[in-house]
Amino acid sequence: MSHNNTDLFVFVAIAALVTVHDKPLLKRACQHALNDGVSMQELCDILPHISVYSGVPKALQALEILNSLDDIQGSNTLLIKRTEQQLKTALTFGQLPFGIEQQNNTVFELASLGALFALDDASNLVSEQLKRCVLLGYSREQLELLVIELARKVSSHIAMRAKCNLEKHFAMVG
C-alpha cells in the first residue's frame, strides 16, 4: 500500500464510520474511495485490524456494505469471503489471524487511530496509538490534518474529540 496523506486519511474516516456504525456515510465513503483508486483489498484488509476497537459485528456489517458496492477493479467475492472468515474466526476464538505485513502497516495504524477517535472513552488508547503513529514517522501537522478529514467525512463531534486528544498528546510530549 503506497498512499499520500489524503489517501491515508480516507482509511481514518472509514474506520471511524465503521466504529460509529453510520451505514449511509460508510457506504458513500467506501464507494468514493473505490472510485478514487483505493482497492477493495485495502478496504477489506483494514476491517480485521480495526475490529479490535470497533467490534467484530460492526466490521462484519461493514463487510456487507463493501459487498454491495460497485468495485470498478474487479470481482471481490473471494476477498469478501476471506475477510468474513477472518472476522468470524476472531469472533469465535477471540483472536485475529494477522500476518506480519498486517501488524506493521502504517495504514492500519492510522485506521486504528480513526476507530479510537470514534469511541467515547478511549483517551488512554488514543494516547498510545498516537505514540505509535509518531514513531512510524507521522508529524504533528499530518496528524492534525486527520481532524479536517474527520470533520468532513464523519462528524464535527468526533473531529473535536480528535483535536482535543491531539492537543493533549502533544502538550504532554512537548
User: What pLDDT was estimated at residue 27?
Assistant: 95
User: What pLDDT was estimated at residue 74?
Assistant: 62
Domains in the chain (CATH in brackets) are 5-173 (1.20.1290.10)
**How far is residue 133 from each of residues 28, 62, 127, 129, 139, measured CA to CA in Å?**
27, 25, 10, 6, 8
User: What pLDDT was estimated at residue 103?
Assistant: 46
Closest-CA residue to 169 (of 150, 144, 145, 152): 144
User: What pLDDT was estimated at residue 121?
Assistant: 86
User: What pLDDT was estimated at residue 158?
Assistant: 96
User: What pLDDT was estimated at residue 4?
Assistant: 54
Q: Which residues of the chain have pLDDT under 70?
A: 1-7, 70-75, 94-104
User: What pLDDT was estimated at residue 2?
Assistant: 47
User: What pLDDT was estimated at residue 123?
Assistant: 86
Model-wide pTM > 0.75: yes
User: What pLDDT was estimated at residue 130?
Assistant: 94
Alpha-carbon span 111 to 73, nearest angstrom: 22
